[in-house]
């Protein structure tokens, strides 16, 4: 165990800091150590809730990279608000459980990858549904971006369409007449 540095404090103050104890004085002028954590005068049980979001509920969702989720977001259009769903795979979760925590969600629409970054504790997010859970060995799944692009490129290479020239029916008839006339001229 590393000793606590003595930064202008007495040895008794250092041991109190190690044990996280405060000293209080009693009428008999005796010092008593009380096992009360230092909280800068704020009672932690009576904190005021400023956010309309259930932060504890979102903390306990267990959002991890690789999970497939559906995020319902409030969108305001003129006087009305509507809900829009975005379903995809979580690529990354950043900033842990602090108020600025975010999740990056990736979805593929019509062969195009779309990523959105959602603030986890934002009141704009109505709800988050976990569709499926999966285990991954990485904290950030950014390699899925290139994997999806490679799969699309493979499909593009394997599907080769030969160019088809479209002509109108009148042009086809004119071409047939010309070839028949040339054939008749050659016979005479």
Residue 155 lies in a domain: no
Residue 46 lies in a domain: no
Q: Which residues pair with 118 in a beta bridge?
A: 103
Together in a domain, 63 and 32: no
Whether 11 and 1 have beta carbons less than 8 Å apart is answered as: no
Residue 165 lies in a domain: no
At residue 24, the pLDDT reads 47
| pLDDT-based confidence at residue 153 (cuts at 50, 70, 90) | confident
Q: Taking residues 150-175, what's their average pLDDT?
A: 64
Residue 173 lies in a domain: no
Together in a domain, 72 and 134: yes
Together in a domain, 135 and 78: yes
Q: Is the pLDDT of residue 37 over 60?
A: no
What does 31-64 look like in DSSP terms, one character per residue? EEEE-PPP-TT--GGG-----SS-HHHHHTT---
Number of domains in the chain: 2
Domain encompassing residue 118: 55-145
At residue 149, the pLDDT reads 76
| pLDDT-based confidence at residue 72 (cuts at 50, 70, 90) | very high
Together in a domain, 62 and 131: yes
Residue 175 lies in a domain: no
Which CATH number covers residue 114? Answer: 2.30.30.790
Together in a domain, 31 and 83: no
Task: Give the DSSP H/E element, type plus range, for residue 126.
Answer: strand 125-132
Pick the more confident residue, 155 or 33: 155
Q: Is the pLDDT of residue 9 over 70?
A: no
Whether 73 and 82 have beta carbons less than 8 Å apart is answered as: no
Together in a domain, 65 and 125: yes
Structure tokens at 39: 């909280």
Together in a domain, 67 and 127: yes
The pTM of the full predicted model, rounded to 2 decimals, is 0.55
Residue 151, helix vs strand vs coil: helix
Residue 88 lies in a domain: yes
Q: How far apart are CA 21 and CA 8, in angstroms?
A: 18
């Amino acid at each position: 165990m590393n000793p606590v540095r003595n930064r202008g404090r007495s040895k008794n103050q250092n041991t109190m800091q190690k044990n996280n104890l405060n000293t209080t004085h009693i009428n008999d002028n005796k010092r008593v150590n009380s096992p009360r954590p230092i909280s800068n005068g704020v009672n932690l049980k009576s904190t005021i809730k400023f956010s309309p979001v259930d932060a504890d509920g979102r903390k306990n969702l267990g959002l991890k990279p690789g999970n497939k989720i559906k995020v319902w977001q409030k969108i305001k259009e003129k006087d009305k608000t509507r809900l829009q769903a975005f379903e995809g795979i979580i690529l990354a979760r950043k900033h842990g459980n602090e108020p600025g925590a975010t999740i990056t969600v990736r979805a593929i629409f019509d062969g195009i990858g779309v990523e959105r970054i959602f603030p986890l504790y934002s009141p704009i997010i109505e709800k988050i549904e976990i569709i499926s859970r999966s285990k991954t060995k990485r904290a950030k799944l950014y390699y899925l971006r290139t994997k999806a692009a490679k799969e699309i490129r493979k499909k593009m290479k394997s599907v080769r369409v030969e160019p088809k020239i479209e002509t109108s029916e009148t042009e086809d008839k004119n071409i047939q007449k010309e070839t028949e006339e040339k054939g008749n001229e050659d016979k005479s």
